[in-house]
Structure 1
Amino acid sequence: MDQTVAVITPAWKAEATIVTTVQSVLAQTWPHWELWLIADDGADYEAFLAQAGISDPRIRFLPSGGTGRGASNTRNVALDQITAPFAAILDADDRLKPRKLERAVAALADHAIVTTALDVMTDTFTHLRYVGDGPDRVLTPGAHKWVSLSMDSMLVWDRRRADGRYDPTMSNMTDLEFLAQLYRTAPASFHLGTPLHDYIKRASSMSNGSNVAAGMIASKTEILRRLQTGHYGLPAEDVEGLAAFLTISLAAEARYEAALAAHPGLLFEDHLQPMLAASSPLPPGERSARSAG
C-alpha cells in the first residue's frame, strides 16, 4: 500500500534557509516522501540546492504561476497536483525533526489528521518554548486549540479521508482555517505530544507590528464568523470549543501591544497561555502538560 508523504514547501526569497529545511527532509527516518518545492519568487531552487550538493529524485520543483502570490496560493499549486495519499506542510524556514514523518505515518493508520507539538525557535535555532507538548492524545476540533495553541500547519493528513485548500483571501490564520476544513470529514485528530517540528519565529512575528496585529484580528474574526454560521458543518460542541478559544485569543490580541511594551520580547503564546488556562473547558489532565520552556 502506498504510504508516500508529499511534503509541500512554498518558497519566497528562501535562499538563506532552504538548504537547512531540505536537509531536514533528507534526514527523515521515513524514506517514502516527495518534497514539492514551489517557487513564488522566480528563483531556480533546483540549481541553488545543487550548488549546495543537494540533488534527490524525490524533490519536485514547481513555479507558483507568478511572483509573490502568497503561501496559500503557492501551497494550493502543489495540492492540485500531488497524487500521494498523505500530505504535510513545511515552511521554507522550518525543519522537521528526524522521526516526524515516521511517527505521523504510523498514527495515520488510525486517524485522518495528525498534528505534532512544536519546538519554537529563533531564526538562529535558539529554543524559545514548546507548543502542544505533553501526552499523545485524540483531540476533537473543539479541544485541539486548547492543547496546541498556535501554528497549525505542522500537520500531516490523509487526503483520501480529509482534504481542503488554503484560503488566499485571508492574510493570516490560514493554517487554522485549513484545519477546520479537514475537520469537516474527520471528526477528530491525533496529536503527537513530542515536539517533532522546529517552528522558526521571525522577529516580525514576535514584535507584533500593526499590520500583523490587524491581520490576525481580522482573520480570527472571520474564522469565528464562519464557525458560528455553520460554514464548516462541525458539531455544536466543537463550534463552542473553537469559538471560545478564538474569543479569548482576540482578547489577547487587544492586550498584547501593552503587554509587549511592559515585557519586551514577550511571545504571544506566553501572553495567551495564562488566559486560556484560566478558562480552559478541558479537564486538567487534557491541558498542555508544560508551559513555556
Structure 2
Amino acid sequence: MRDEPVSIIMPAYRAQATIARAVAAALAQTHSHFELIIISDDGCDYEAVLGRAGIADPRIRHLESGLIGGGSPPARNMGLDAARYPIAAVLDADDAFKSEKLAIMVPLAARHGLASCGLDVTLSDGTHLRHIARGEDRLLTPGRYKFVNFSMDSMLVHDRRRADPRYDPSLPCMTDLDFLLKIFATVPACFHVGTPLHDYVKMPVSVSNGPGVTERMVATKRELRRRLADGFYPLADPDGMAGIDRFLAISLDAEQSYAPRPGAIPPDLFEDHLEPLLMAAGTRV
C-alpha cells in the first residue's frame, strides 16, 4: 500500500542560515509521499537560498505570506489552507525531523487522529541538551498529555479529516498548545511515540527563548486558563480540562521562580526547571 500523503508546513522568517538543514531533513524521510510547503514570511526567495545549497525537489512548494515578520501562526495557516493532503505536520525552519519520523507517525495519526513524539532538544550547532517525553509508546488523554510533552507541541502530526483547526495569531506565544486543544475537540486522545523523532533547536532569540519571553508566556498561560474556564475549548474528553488547567497552573508557578543564569553554557532550560515541579505535584513525567 502506498504511503499516506503528508503536507509538511514550514514557515520561514530570517531562516537563511538554518533552512537548508531543515529541508534536507524533510527530504531524507523514509516516508517519501509528501509535499513541503515553505511560506516565506520575510520576503526572502527561499527557493534561491535552497538552490545555492544544492537543494531542489519537485515536492517543495514556495509561498509568500505577503508580510514581513507576520509571525508563524498566519504563515502556518496559509500553508494549511494550501495543503493538498489529509495528514499534516509542522516543521519550523530551524528544527529537523529524524529520518523515520513520518514513517512512524503518519500511520498512527491516520489511525488515532493525532500523534506526538519525543523531542531531542539541541543547540543550533547540534549540541544535545536533553530529551523530552522519551519513554514508552502510549495513548495520552488531554489531561495527561502536557505532563508528558511538557515542552513545545510543534512535533505533532494530525489527520485533517478528523480535525482541521487554524493557529491563533492573537496569542503572543504557545499557539501550538492552542492548536492542540482545538484538535482535542474532536480527537479524544493522542498516540505518543516515546522515541525522540524531532530535533527541537533552542535558538538564542526566538518566541520561546530570549528577552521578554517570561512576560509573554505568563500572559498566554493566563489567557489559556481563562479560555478553559469559559468553555472556549470543548474537549471530546471533558475530563481533560482539569489536567490541562493543572499543568498550566504549575507552569505559571514555574515561570515565577525561573531564574536562568545569563550566558550559562550550556543554557539553563525552562524544561529542566519545570520537570521537577511537575514531579513534586505528584505526577510522573
Query: Above 0.5 in TM-score?
Result: yes
For residues 3 and 197 of structure 2, the distance between their equivalents in structure 1, rounded to whole angstroms, comes to 23
Whichever residue aligns with residue 251 of structure 1, its letter is: D
TM-score when scaled to structure 1?
0.92
Report the counterpart of residue 270 of structure 1 in structure 2: 272
Report the counterpart of residue 138 of structure 1 in structure 2: 139
For residues 109 and 74 of structure 1, the distance between their equivalents in structure 2, rounded to whole angstroms, comes to 24
Report the counterpart of residue 104 of structure 1 in structure 2: 105
Report the counterpart of residue 52 of structure 2 in structure 1: 51
Report if the CA contact (8 A) 1:2-1:85 is conserved.
Answer: no
Report the counterpart of residue 180 of structure 1 in structure 2: 181
TM-score when scaled to structure 2?
0.94
| In the alignment, structure 1 residue 4 sits paired with structure 2 residue 42 | no
Secondary structure of the residue that 2:164 maps to in structure 1?
Answer: coil
For residues 146 and 98 of structure 1, the distance between their equivalents in structure 2, rounded to whole angstroms, comes to 26
Report if the CA contact (8 A) 1:95-1:199 is conserved.
Answer: yes
For residues 211 and 52 of structure 2, the distance between their equivalents in structure 1, rounded to whole angstroms, comes to 39
- For structure 1, the residue ranges without an aligned partner over 5 or more in a row are 282-286, 289-293
Listed one character per residue, the Cα deviations across residues 115-167 of structure 1 (whole Å, up to 9, x for unaligned) are 11000000111000000110000001110000011100110000000121000
Report the counterpart of residue 248 of structure 1 in structure 2: 250
Report if the CA contact (8 A) 2:43-2:66 is conserved.
Answer: no
How do 1:111-130 and structure 2 match up within 5 A?
111-130=112-131
For residues 228 and 72 of structure 1, the distance between their equivalents in structure 2, rounded to whole angstroms, comes to 24
Secondary structure of the residue that 1:130 maps to in structure 2?
Answer: strand
For residues 69 and 207 of structure 2, the distance between their equivalents in structure 1, rounded to whole angstroms, comes to 23
Report if the CA contact (8 A) 1:206-1:266 is conserved.
Answer: no
For residues 30 and 60 of structure 2, the distance between their equivalents in structure 1, rounded to whole angstroms, comes to 16
Aligned length: 281
For residues 261 and 190 of structure 1, the distance between their equivalents in structure 2, rounded to whole angstroms, comes to 36
Listed one character per residue, the Cα deviations across residues 252-276 of structure 1 (whole Å, up to 9, x for unaligned) are 000002xx24994321000000000
Whichever residue aligns with residue 245 of structure 2, its letter is: A
Secondary structure of the residue that 1:150 maps to in structure 2?
Answer: coil
C-alpha deviation, 1:65, in angstroms: 2.1
Secondary structure of the residue that 2:275 maps to in structure 1?
Answer: helix
- For structure 2, the residue ranges without an aligned partner over 5 or more in a row are none
For residues 278 and 110 of structure 1, the distance between their equivalents in structure 2, rounded to whole angstroms, comes to 34
For residues 33 and 129 of structure 1, the distance between their equivalents in structure 2, rounded to whole angstroms, comes to 29
Percent of aligned pairs with the same amino acid: 51
Report the counterpart of residue 291 of structure 1 in structure 2: none
C-alpha deviation, 1:4, in angstroms: 0.9
| In the alignment, structure 1 residue 223 sits paired with structure 2 residue 224 | yes
| In the alignment, structure 1 residue 190 sits paired with structure 2 residue 191 | yes
Secondary structure of the residue that 2:258 maps to in structure 1?
Answer: helix
| In the alignment, structure 1 residue 163 sits paired with structure 2 residue 164 | yes
C-alpha deviation, 1:177, in angstroms: 0.7
More helix by share: 1
For residues 106 and 169 of structure 1, the distance between their equivalents in structure 2, rounded to whole angstroms, comes to 33
Distance 1:91 1:262, change over 3 A: closer
Report if the CA contact (8 A) 1:146-1:280 is conserved.
Answer: no
Distance 1:55 1:271, change over 3 A: same
Report if the CA contact (8 A) 2:29-2:99 is conserved.
Answer: yes
Secondary structure of the residue that 1:87 maps to in structure 2?
Answer: strand
For residues 70 and 38 of structure 2, the distance between their equivalents in structure 1, rounded to whole angstroms, comes to 15
C-alpha deviation, 1:219, in angstroms: 0.6
Whichever residue aligns with residue 199 of structure 2, its letter is: D
Whichever residue aligns with residue 112 of structure 2, its letter is: H
C-alpha deviation, 1:204, in angstroms: 3.2
Listed one character per residue, the Cα deviations across residues 74-94 of structure 1 (whole Å, up to 9, x for unaligned) are 101111121201000000000
For residues 263 and 52 of structure 1, the distance between their equivalents in structure 2, rounded to whole angstroms, comes to 32
**Cα RMSD (Å) of the superposition?**
1.8
For residues 263 and 63 of structure 1, the distance between their equivalents in structure 2, rounded to whole angstroms, comes to 36
For residues 152 and 126 of structure 1, the distance between their equivalents in structure 2, rounded to whole angstroms, comes to 21
Listed one character per residue, the Cα deviations across residues 37-80 of structure 1 (whole Å, up to 9, x for unaligned) are 00000111111111211111100000012211100011011111
**Which stretch shifts more, 209-218 or 88-97?**
209-218
Listed one character per residue, the Cα deviations across residues 190-247 of structure 1 (whole Å, up to 9, x for unaligned) are 0000000000011236995551111000111111111111111124420100000000
How do 1:66-85 and structure 2 match up within 5 A?
66-85=67-86
Whichever residue aligns with residue 171 of structure 1, its letter is: P
For residues 128 and 66 of structure 2, the distance between their equivalents in structure 1, rounded to whole angstroms, comes to 36
Report if the CA contact (8 A) 1:206-1:268 is conserved.
Answer: no
Report if the CA contact (8 A) 2:76-2:167 is conserved.
Answer: yes
